[in-house]
Amino acid sequence: MRVIAGSAKRLQLKTVKGMETRPTTDRIKETLFNMIQQELLDCRFLDLFSGSGAIGIEALSRGASRAVFVENNPAAVSCIRDNLKTTRLEERASVRSEDVFRALDRLEGSGEQFDVIFMDPPYRLDLEKKVLEKLKDSSVADEKTLIIVEASLDTDFSWLAKQGWRLLKNKEYKTNKHVFIVREDR
């Protein structure tokens, strides 16, 4: 796995050993970032369930001003820190070694707000729904925040409108999909 474009282009990234994380393939990552390139310049990027940190690092490499990584697996946290050091992007990043919901509570209290939020939660546990429920009334995201969820192909998002979200687009790949969401009043 590598950084696709930007200031850290072609640098190799470490991944977490074992089956606890599912690194996004370079091809899918490239497609995703081609779709959101216009949103990245000087944006504040929140990477939830970060794994190796490859998505947030790609955002930083392509022009995000800041990225916050949230991951509770100690091996993954170590991997993120190593990858930030390798790419020389650590000054514009912070890594939170904690549960996503605890991190969102703390970020809420800090007054920090994000332009793009990416999440790749473990599949089939409804965590994306729980995170969006938490973000619905949070100051961490506003009506301009683009939220991207990486999910299994069979994950149902028919509930989005009831919760106050609007589906912008759904990009399906062979094994998973990216769902692009904003608050309904955008």
CB 119 within 8 Å of CB 151: no
CB 123 within 8 Å of CB 155: yes
186: pLDDT strictly greater than 80? no
Residue 57 lies in a domain: yes
Residue 131 lies in a domain: yes
50: pLDDT strictly greater than 70? yes
Interatomic CA distance for residues 8 and 67, integer angstroms: 15
Count of CB atoms situated within 10 Å of the CB of 96: 21
Return the pLDDT at 3. Answer: 58
**Average pLDDT score over the chain:** 89
Return the pLDDT at 16. Answer: 78
Residue 132 lies in a domain: yes
State the CATH number of the domain containing residue 97: 3.40.50.150
Residues 6 or more apart from 122 whose CB is under 8 A from it?
Answer: 49
The percentage of the chain sitting over the pLDDT mark of 70, rounded to a whole number, equals 90
100-137 tens-digit pLDDT: 999 999 999 788 899 999 999 998 899 999 999 999 98
Residue 184 lies in a domain: no
Residue 18 lies in a domain: no
Residue 123 lies in a domain: yes
Residue 150 lies in a domain: yes
The total domain count for the chain is: 1
129-174 tens-digit pLDDT: 999 999 998 999 999 999 999 999 999 999 999 999 999 999 999 9
CB 49 within 8 Å of CB 119: yes
What's the domain range around 93?
Answer: 27-173
* 186 or 72, greater pLDDT: 72
Interatomic CA distance for residues 130 and 127, integer angstroms: 5
Residue 21 lies in a domain: no
19: pLDDT strictly greater than 50? no
Give the pLDDT band of residue 9 (cuts 50, 70, 90): low
